[in-house]
Amino acid sequence: MKFRFEKRVLALLEGSIDIHIHSAPDVYPRLLNDVELALSAKENGMRAILIKNHYFETASRAQIATDLADFPVFGGIALNLTNGGLNRHAVKMALKLGAKQVWMPTVHADYFVKNKSHVANLATEIGADVEGVSLVKADGALKDELYEIFDIIKEGDAIFATGHVTKEEAKLAVREAAKRGVRKILVTHPAATFVHYSVDDMKEILD
């Protein structure tokens, strides 16, 4: 599929890398499949793309798209229930496949599940019986399994992304990930209305 962009948009695309882009196959409708997306990115002068799926790792798909489009496509893994939640084994294997980004829970984050009506297009696949995944224990401390995940991310030099957890969970996780030596840290779309970051929150998490 070809797109016509204004010159100013093309100028922004030139040499860029999109590190958060959804493509088919997916349980949600997507405009382009992996290969179509890669070819479009290549045609418009982009440097690379990183494809995301809420329910499955995308590193394996990315390898195929890279070969077919002759263009760099990378993948990642979101720690939702379909990937075992806070599952260090899934993270380790995804990174071995070449994953470049690890998202904390998104559609299965405890906070997101409880507020799924705010994002109706994603809520369709989240059942009423789903028990969300939290990053913290009852006492407010980070869950123990996260520390091993941080170490795996650090070793793989991957991006740690906060997903759809609460801003309080994100702040705590970012702080601890940095302490463990994770170099690449990304706060996932803080301007989205369903995560409710204020400008002050964004400044605080940078500190």
Measured distance CA(14)–CA(17) in Å, rounded? 9
Strands 184-186 vs 159-161: parallel, antiparallel or unpaired: parallel
Q: What is the pLDDT of residues 49-86, one digit of tens each?
A: 999 999 999 999 999 999 999 999 999 999 999 999 99
Delimit the domains of the chain by residue range.
Answer: 52-206
Tokens representing 206 are 């940078």
Measured distance CA(191)–CA(20) in Å, rounded? 15
* Beta-sheet strands, E only, within the chain: 17-22, 48-52, 73-74, 76-78, 101-103, 159-161, 184-186
Q: What are the residue ranges in the chain where pLDDT is below 70?
A: 1-5
Q: State the first-to-last Cα distance of the chain, in angstroms, to the nearest integer.
A: 42
Q: Of all helices (H) and strands (E), which one includes residue 131?
A: none
Please give the pLDDT value at position 1: 55
Please give the pLDDT value at position 8: 82
What pTM did the predictor assign? 0.94
From residue 133, alpha-carbon distances to 79, 97, 157, 185 in Å are 9, 24, 24, 20
